[in-house]
Amino acid sequence: MKPSSNCTKLKIAATVAVASIATVSFGSVAFGAACSGYDVLVAQTAEMTELGNGHSILTVRQQSVVITDDPNNIYNLTTGECAGSILFLPDGTTDASGHCARKDQDGDTYSLTWAQEPGKPNGIWASLGGTGKFEGRSANGTFTPQVEDGTMSASTWQGECN
């Protein structure tokens, strides 16, 4: 779909960003174990820049909470911030990427990267590092946007975690 106005672009971008940013988290502690859950995001800032000739870019910052399917998972109820950009291309598709940094109630932190290629309904995520209980863990997988209202969004995510 090709956005026809800034309002439409912002809504599409918020959906992509929230879904993309939101879904880049992970769970399980066993090596190579399947992990899954939800990422719920609330937009804090969004700034659209019109570049001309059908190109524009949206930069976003969101607050996030990760809910794992296993309530005992170390990633369950971790919170933090995600930031990224969504490039709108002349053909109406988007290319999105960014990072998230989260912490648990003990103050241990982890970070990840996420991306969603033009025309793809799902995105990918991968862990970058962590401290405390998250140190030395690796994880990667996919995410799928589920719901978005312009300010809040939620995505499902799944992958392999250790």
pLDDT at 102: 97
pLDDT at 12: 45
pLDDT means per 10 residues, the chain with 162 residues, are 43 44 39 86 96 96 97 94 96 95 97 93 95 94 93 95 82
pLDDT at 26: 41
Domains and CATH numbers, the chain: 6-27+36-156 (2.40.350)
| Tokens matching residue 132 | 């405390």
Cβ-count burial 51-74 (b if 16+ within 10 Å, e if not): eeeeebbbbbbbebbbbbbeeebb
